[in-house]
Amino acid sequence: GPDERAAQAVRERDAVLTKPAGSLGRLEEIAVWLAAWTGKAKPQVTRPLVAVFAGNHGVTAKGVSPYPSSVTAQMVENFAAGGAAINQLCIANDLGLKVFDLALEYPTGDITEEAAMDEKTCAATMAFGMEAIAGGTDLLCIGEMGIGNTTIAAAICHGLYGGTAQEWVGPGTGADSEGLRRKVAAVQRAIELHRGHLKDPLELLRRLGGREIAAMAGAILAARMEKVPVIVDGYVATSAAAVLHAANPAAIDHCLFGHVSAEPGHRKVLEKLGKKPLLDLGMRLGEGTGAALAAGIVKAAALCHAGMATFEQAGVSGKVN
Amino acid sequence: GPDERAAQAVRERDAVLTKPAGSLGRLEEIAVWLAAWTGKAKPQVTRPLVAVFAGNHGVTAKGVSPYPSSVTAQMVENFAAGGAAINQLCIANDLGLKVFDLALEYPTGDITEEAAMDEKTCAATMAFGMEAIAGGTDLLCIGEMGIGNTTIAAAICHGLYGGTAQEWVGPGTGADSEGLRRKVAAVQRAIELHRGHLKDPLELLRRLGGREIAAMAGAILAARMEKVPVIVDGYVATSAAAVLHAANPAAIDHCLFGHVSAEPGHRKVLEKLGKKPLLDLGMRLGEGTGAALAAGIVKAAALCHAGMATFEQAGVSGKVN
């Protein structure tokens, strides 16, 4: 659980910093959140890390993406070469970047016809995600790359929350109306096929899958155990958090949602989770870009709290009774 | 006016960068905006500057702030010593900081009894604000410090847009219900006193005043002439932009509004200006803090545009068909 003593220490220091009480808004909440989940009364962000998990999806055979699934591996190359958006955002905010290629040459099963993963693969992929942060970090941003994975996220959300497939499906990388129809049909078929096996969130994850989603779920769990606060990226990353939340709502209390994406399902799932995103900039790229941008705000919040003078130190008068 | 050729060059490059079209949302718009107002087809942010203007206000005699007006000068000292929130945010986002003390020992006239400034003072203060950016910058964030100045901002907005004083007055640094009543009464009296002289925006500025507001208006004008894009901070800074907008709506086309503050009038004036703020984090500190935080996003947008690989460079496949 959260470290209430550390959180309280931050609240007490915040109250005497040279500013009106509450005037830094969410920056103040972020400083408290960092303290609560790192257990440190003087929270710092010194080794922030963006972890991007890449996976391929059998459901791309159903024409759910305008891009060929070969783009997943090509973008992983682009990450390695420093040419992607996430590379630039990591430079801008001085964040580490690790990219994990999850057996791209072995796409998951087509969820409209079979389970995405067998039990062993799903468990092993979650474990892989847990180990991904073993190198050490004090702020973890999680993101993903995977052609077809907004269809997977929609299936997971539809499976978790019901409603209609249409409510959870969006244009993703830019599906046209035909493409959207194919996405909706795929999600409908997947939910019909797996109906009756969706009550257990981990079984739902295995069937509707996505290796990168299993790995992100593992990373979120491991971060909690290692007292590392997490910034979750967009719709796909949030679907991983939603699986954990369905198993135990408190399991994602250490997660901050970096932004709300332009993919319409994202706003809906954030509402289901009761989470208020930090940014709302119409982004919908994935790769961890929204989380990385939000990490700049989180770093600034930590610096603000740590570096500001108190009224006493600065010789600034307080309120007149 | 905006440099359409530079803006178009950014749009064309953006279209071939390794991401789905439009997927970086407002980051893409920001890159175009930087090009349009710097005139550079490859916009960069290399010398960002936060300019904070500090002024004192005769209307504080009417008990409009819970803090004594001596806090303005004390906070200017705190800026110099590096202890304020704005100092930490400048460190966090690698921004220069210049603080301009506008004759703090000579508060403006109490606007409930007289004009804030005579014509000469108002013109000289605007000119001072224009010179403030002469040292060179390629992104100007404007902010302010001045006990009592949310009352001034409310009077300016009430004078420009009508409505009731209550609509434009908010708690500022934290007025209680008695304090709020005094703020509303002061704004009502000021508007009654100066009614009939509020049609000319510069005459309105002189009468309802605020040296820091006149200086910020000057800085915004000078930035336009020197092709420097501007990030405007909160309610008080926006009131300076609103004066210019009333004289000529195009005069603030080079301004981006960094955030919407928790001070309720800010959201209303942004609507009047037709401007969509970048951040919405419940901040209400002033000092340029919202603009400085937004500057991190603007820098990231510029870096993203400049540094990303194209589909061709990265060997990434485009859309099928």
Does A287 qualify as catalytic in the annotation?
yes
Do A23 and B283 lie within an 8 Å CB cutoff?
yes
How far apart are alpha carbons B77 and A168 in whole angstroms? 53
Do A174 and B320 lie within an 8 Å CB cutoff?
no
Q: Which residues of A touch B290 (CB under 8 A)?
A: none
Tell me which residue in A20, A279, A283 faces B23 most closely, judged by beta carbons: A283
**pLDDT bucket at B97, cuts 50 / 70 / 90:** very high
% of chain B beyond a pLDDT of 90 = 97
Closest CA to A200 of A249, A153, A155, A243: A243
Rounded to an integer, the average pLDDT of B131-157 is: 96
Helix (H) or strand (E) holding B235: helix B235-247
The answer to whether the CB of A54 falls within 8 A of the CB of A142 is no
pLDDT digits (tens, 9 = 90+) for B26-75: 999 999 999 999 999 999 999 999 999 999 999 999 999 999 999 999 99
Above 70 in pLDDT, residue B89? yes
Phi, psi (deg, nearest 5) at residue A310: -85, 165
Domains and CATH numbers, chain B: 4-42+306-314 (1.10.1610.10), 48-298 (3.40.50.10210)
Q: Which residues of A touch B91 (CB under 8 A)?
A: 303, 307
How far apart are alpha carbons A191 and A172 in whole angstroms? 19
β-strand partners of A99: A52
> Which runs of E-coded beta strand occur in B32-177?
48-54, 96-101, 139-145
Tell me whether strands A48-54 and B96-101 are parallel, antiparallel or unpaired: unpaired
Closest CA to B129 of B47, B248, B225: B225
pLDDT digits (tens, 9 = 90+) for B177-217: 999 999 999 999 999 999 999 999 999 999 999 999 999 99
Helix (H) or strand (E) holding A256: strand A255-257
Q: Which residues of A touch B279 (CB under 8 A)?
A: 279
Do A306 and B91 lie within an 8 Å CB cutoff?
no
Output the average pLDDT for chain A: 97
| Neighbour tally for B195: CB within 10 Å | 9
Do A19 and B174 lie within an 8 Å CB cutoff?
no
Could you say which residues of chain A have pLDDT below 50?
none
B66 touches chain A (CB under 8 A): yes
From the candidates B28, B144, B287, B312, give the one annotated as an active-site residue.
B287
pLDDT digits (tens, 9 = 90+) for B4-24: 999 999 999 999 999 999 999
ipTM rounded to 2 decimals: 0.97
How far apart are alpha carbons A256 and A258 in whole angstroms? 6
- A 153-182: CB under 8 A from B: 173-174
pLDDT digits (tens, 9 = 90+) for A210-265: 999 999 999 999 999 999 999 999 999 999 999 999 999 999 999 999 999 999 99
H-only helix segments in B17-64: 26-38
Q: How far is A47 from chain B (nearest CA, A)?
A: 15
- Best of A173, A256, A304, A311 to mutate (most B CBs within 10 Å, chain B): A304
Do A173 and B88 lie within an 8 Å CB cutoff?
no
- Best of A14, A17, A23 to mutate (most B CBs within 10 Å, chain B): A23
B90 touches chain A (CB under 8 A): no
B26 touches chain A (CB under 8 A): yes
Do A75 and B280 lie within an 8 Å CB cutoff?
no
- Best of A76, A88, A279 to mutate (most B CBs within 10 Å, chain B): A88
Q: How far is A264 from chain B (nearest CA, A)?
A: 13
% of chain A beyond a pLDDT of 90 = 97
A84 touches chain B (CB under 8 A): yes
B313 touches chain A (CB under 8 A): yes
Do A81 and B282 lie within an 8 Å CB cutoff?
no
The answer to whether the CB of A285 falls within 8 A of the CB of B20 is yes
Rounded to an integer, the average pLDDT of B119-138 is: 95
How far apart are alpha carbons A265 and A287 in whole angstroms? 17
Q: How far is A199 from chain B (nearest CA, A)?
A: 34
Tell me which residue in A88, A262, A308 faces B83 most closely, judged by beta carbons: A308
Tell me which residue in B278, B293, B317 faces A300 most closely, judged by beta carbons: B293
> Which runs of E-coded beta strand occur in A124-183?
139-145
How far apart are alpha carbons B34 and B29 in whole angstroms? 9
The answer to whether the CB of A218 falls within 8 A of the CB of A126 is yes
How far apart are alpha carbons B86 and B288 in whole angstroms? 7
How far apart are alpha carbons B17 and A44 in whole angstroms? 34
Q: Which residues of A touch B27 (CB under 8 A)?
A: 281, 283, 293
Do B289 and A68 lie within an 8 Å CB cutoff?
no
Do B77 and A24 lie within an 8 Å CB cutoff?
no
Do A315 and B74 lie within an 8 Å CB cutoff?
yes
Output the average pLDDT for chain B: 97
How far apart are alpha carbons B170 and B262 in whole angstroms? 9
Q: Which residues of B touch A283 (CB under 8 A)?
A: 23-27
pLDDT of residue A224: 97
- B 116-135: CB under 8 A from A: none
How far apart are alpha carbons A283 and A267 in whole angstroms? 12
**How big is chain A by its Cα radius of gyration, in Å?**
20
Tell me whether strands A96-101 and A255-257 are parallel, antiparallel or unpaired: unpaired
Tell me which residue in A26, A66, A313 faces B319 most closely, judged by beta carbons: A66
β-strand partners of B54: B101, B145
Do B304 and A88 lie within an 8 Å CB cutoff?
yes
From the candidates A29, A271, A287, A312, give the one annotated as an active-site residue.
A287
| Neighbour tally for A111: CB within 10 Å | 30
Do B283 and A320 lie within an 8 Å CB cutoff?
no
Helices A149-161 & A235-247 angle (0-180, nearest 10): 30
pLDDT of residue A135: 87
pLDDT digits (tens, 9 = 90+) for A106-139: 999 999 999 999 999 999 999 999 998 888 999 9
Q: What is the DSSP letter of B62?
A: G
The answer to whether the CB of B286 falls within 8 A of the CB of B185 is no
A73 touches chain B (CB under 8 A): no
pLDDT of residue A321: 61
How far apart are alpha carbons A77 and B40 in whole angstroms? 31
Place of tokens 């699934």: A69
A26 touches chain B (CB under 8 A): yes
Q: What letter represents residue A131's amino acid?
A: E
How far apart are alpha carbons B130 and B140 in whole angstroms? 12
Do B27 and A281 lie within an 8 Å CB cutoff?
yes
A44 touches chain B (CB under 8 A): no
Q: Which residues of A touch B66 (CB under 8 A)?
A: 319-320
Q: Which residues of B touch A320 (CB under 8 A)?
A: 66-68
Do B89 and A22 lie within an 8 Å CB cutoff?
no
